[in-house]
Amino acid sequence: MESDGASCSRGKVNVKWKSVPKYSSLGECLDACKRQDCNGIRKMLTSKTDANPSRKFLTCQYSGCGSFQWLDEAVAESIRTHSTPKQHISEGCFECGNSDHWHNECPWVKNPCRIEGCSGTRKLKISGTKWSNGEKFLRCNKCPDFQWLKDAVKEVENVEGNTPINARIVIEASLSDLCASFKKDCAFKNK
């Protein structure tokens, strides 16, 4: 890939690479791929075709994903569906998709290889093949070790099945509601 503003030819479509802003003017996250089963990031490109010269569009970083949306349609959709600015709220780990941890605590990031004697680490990837498109898997960077993520998760669940459950409770409240509740429940009074 070339830097911002450079042209690149992909098959029959000539595009110009351009970075996507993290948030639209409405505060909506534009980076995330629109497909539910993909954790890719969308990038903004400029069409160089005769049918749509200089028209901007969004597509997933993963070529096998196939996600595509014209930028003007994405903006119109955002305006139609959001009457007020929306904050981007993470549902958990953007690497594996679980909601019980964040990316920096993800057990599948830099996971040690399970092959005895191998010093490699397994990286979480997404399949782009026809029969398993979008499925996540782990692959070692030093040996041919391969495992579907769903199988690795089942293995861990079987091992951890007899251990106590770690639970996390998230309570959402506005600052004014939190302060009002705190003042009401507090034993001391302002003098």
Between 79 and 136, whose confidence is greater?
Answer: 136
Whether the predicted pLDDT of 4 surpasses 50:
no
pTM beyond 0.85 = no
Write the burial class of residue 165 (CB in 10 Å: 0-12 exposed, 13-18 middle, 19+ buried): exposed
User: Using DSSP, how many helices (H) and how many strands (E) does the chain show?
Assistant: 3, 9
Assign 143 a pLDDT band (cuts: 50, 70, 90): very high
At 10-38, the pLDDT tens digits run 333 344 444 443 444 444 444 677 777 78
Q: Where are the domains of the chain?
A: 42-81, 103-161
- pLDDT attached to residue 61: 83
Question: How crowded is the C-beta side of 110, counted as CA atoms within 13 Å?
Answer: 3
Write the burial class of residue 58 (CB in 10 Å: 0-12 exposed, 13-18 middle, 19+ buried): buried
Assign 190 a pLDDT band (cuts: 50, 70, 90): low
